[in-house]
Amino acid sequence: MKVILAEKPSVGREIAKVFGATTKREGYIEGKGYTFTWAFGHLLQLAAPQEYGYYGWNVQNLPMLPPKFKLSLRKVKTKDGLVDDPGAKKQLDIIKTLFDEATEIIVATDAGREGELIFRYIYYYLKCKKPFKRLWISSQTDAAIKDGFRNLKPGTDYDTLFNSAHCRSQSDWLVGMNATQALSLSSGTRSVLSLGRVQTPTLAMICARYLENKNFVPETFYQVAIQPDKDGQLFRAISDKSFKTREEAQAVLEKVEPTGLVLSVDAKPRKEPPPLLHDLSSLQQEANKRKGFTADQALSLLQNLYESKLVTYPRTGSRYIGDDVFAEVPNLIAKFNNHETFGKQANLLTGVKLNKRSVNAKKVTDHHAILPTGEMPNHLTPDLQAIYDMVAGRMLEAFNQDCIKEITKIVIQSGAKYVASGTVIKTAGWRAVFNDKDEEKKDEENPTLPKVQQGENLPIVNKALLEKQTKPKPLYNEASLLKALETAGKEIDDEELRQAMKDSGLGTPATRAAMIETLLKRNYIVREKKNLVPTVTGLAVYDVVKNQQIAQAELTGNWEKRLEEIRSGASVSEFQDEIKAYTSTITKDLLQAGKAIVIPKLNR
């Protein structure tokens, strides 16, 4: 009997369905000579320090460098502390029984580093010796699954991928556990001051932005505005220069003449392509902006929709789909033809050529972008409905036509030069789906500008001196933080470039929401309205570690580079030795530095 092990039940069931296996058992499905079972993500993890004999939190133990790492069952928190996760235990027992009976194992965990680790940890923990082959697919359509089974790879092809995964896991343990204990112990506060490769750079970003914002000294500057009149239609134009002093601006204001000469009129159409389909992060950002949901809330609502089979797999980092999934999109759109809010747009997309911006098989990683499944929901709670509509609406946007705008710029001479700019949407295209206002800066803009000709003289009916102030970068909120994490704090607005940066981002789509919650739980940050603001504890920790490598996003980038080299065959022990050396150094540093930490009893 061959046993197929998937990363999660949904995939196990999907594969079983393709094979036509229908006999449902507890924790697996049988049929056609195969058994289909699954994990629930990581069932096993690196064992806690006490399992290597490092009891309590003790400076004597530091740095903790276990000669050989052990695996232990996933834990859950209860009132009695951490205990084995009963669900994980039960499923692992089922997998053990099936592996014992198996002639061959087919590894169908997600096609990526962590998917490989999920399987190998199980395999080695159970001391299994059965031969295994690897299924490597990036979408779960029938065709992709069948094709994948015709092209099963030898299990050993992925040994180096496992090595890189195992290194990632061990390195995070070594640095995180040791740094956390070192700082907590030396601070003498008896509280947990956690540090880690992902959480500490994230905390640093929040603190740095907060301090930058708080210490920002606004500068006042002045502009002059005029209001020309074109056949009764007034519009506003602003001086093309800004002035440091009121006097300079006042002089310009006084030179405004009774009429203004139109020097140039520049009207050009601009195509605005539809947004890409949602991945988890972009959906969390939108949910935060539109509804004020936290990253954690958005994820759990989405998980609920996924378990109700209403949307595809949510923890994806890809905003693209492959051609196989695209082939199903017209049918999917047609399901919304009679939909109350989306019906009109769905009908408009029927039978027309769809925009293929979100179609690119090469950019589909472990999972494709989030789509509705085509299963129609009824009686969703308002929150679930809101998230569902964001997924369904985004599908209608993503395959829609470009939005065509006309951007007009009028330059007028009246003493000095003045500029009026306006944007008019000529063809709404994808923007018709939600009928949203353009988020781009619109404060200076006129919604519509009258038709004027170059060389025309227009009466100036009003003029004014404007006093303005420069503004600091805003504090992070969950949406802007999630966006910043994807590119490790570097600000990149170009959507395509951002996609390319994802491999060196901080954390993964699946873990970011939990990481923000960790920072809140540690009392490092608090939510103030929508903003994420550091506490005095957070700032004190930041102050101690800000110049350490562990607080730099680049640490992840450096590790990723090394891990990728390991995946292509480079030495494992060399990297491990470096990590151990770094662990010793940072532990020693923090045992000293932590003494300087000052955390008042009364926290903000």
State the residues that interact with DNA by CB under 7 A: 7-10, 40-43, 45-46, 48-50, 56-57, 74, 81-82, 87-88, 110, 112, 114, 118, 168-169, 172-173, 176-177, 180-181, 184, 190-192, 194-200, 303, 306-307, 313, 315, 507-511, 514-515, 518
At 163, the amino acid letter reads: N
Judged by beta carbon, residue 180 or residue 227, the one nearer DNA is: 180
Half-sphere exposure of residue 92, counting CA atoms within 13 Å on the CB side? 25
- Shortest Cβ distance from residue 551 to DNA (Å)? 11
Q: Of 307, 304, 317, nearest to 278 (Cα)?
A: 317
Task: Give the single-character DSSP code of 570.
Answer: -
Task: Give the single-character DSSP code of 74.
Answer: -
Residue 510: CB atoms within 10 Å: 16
> In the annotation, is 313 catalytic?
yes
> How far is 481 from 284, CA to CA, in rounded Å?
11
Residue 299: C-alpha distances to residues 285, 293, 319, 448, 510 (Å): 11, 9, 16, 40, 9
Instruction: Extract long-range pairs of 113-117: CB within 8 Å, 24+ residues apart.
Output: 113/161, 113/164, 113/165, 113/168, 113/563, 113/567, 114/42, 114/165, 115/7, 115/366, 116/158, 116/161, 116/162, 116/165, 117/42, 117/162, 117/165, 117/166, 117/169
Judged by phi (left if over 0) then psi (alpha if -120 to 50, else beta), residue 233 lies in beta
- Shortest Cβ distance from residue 115 to DNA (Å)? 7
Q: What is the DSSP string of 488-515?
A: TT-----HHHHHHTGGGSSS-HHHHHHH
Give the three-class secondary structure for 174: helix
Q: Of 285, 266, 265, 267, nearest to 275 (Cα)?
A: 285
- Shortest Cβ distance from residue 186 to DNA (Å)? 11
Judged by beta carbon, residue 74 or residue 357, the one nearer DNA is: 74
- Shortest Cβ distance from residue 565 to DNA (Å)? 18
Judged by beta carbon, residue 197 or residue 405, the one nearer DNA is: 197
- Shortest Cβ distance from residue 321 to DNA (Å)? 17
List the catalytic residue out of 54, 313, 320, 418: 313
Judged by beta carbon, residue 460 or residue 506, the one nearer DNA is: 506
- Shortest Cβ distance from residue 266 to DNA (Å)? 48
CB 575 within 8 A of CB 167: yes
Residue 268: both structure tokens together: 């050009």
Which residues, 6+ apart, have CB-to-CB distance to 215 below 8 Å? none
Judged by beta carbon, residue 125 or residue 306, the one nearer DNA is: 306
Beta bridge partners of 133: 106, 154
> How far is 342 from 337, CA to CA, in rounded Å?
7
CB-count exposure of residue 206 (10 Å: 0-12, 13-18, 19+) = buried
Residues classed as catalytic? 313
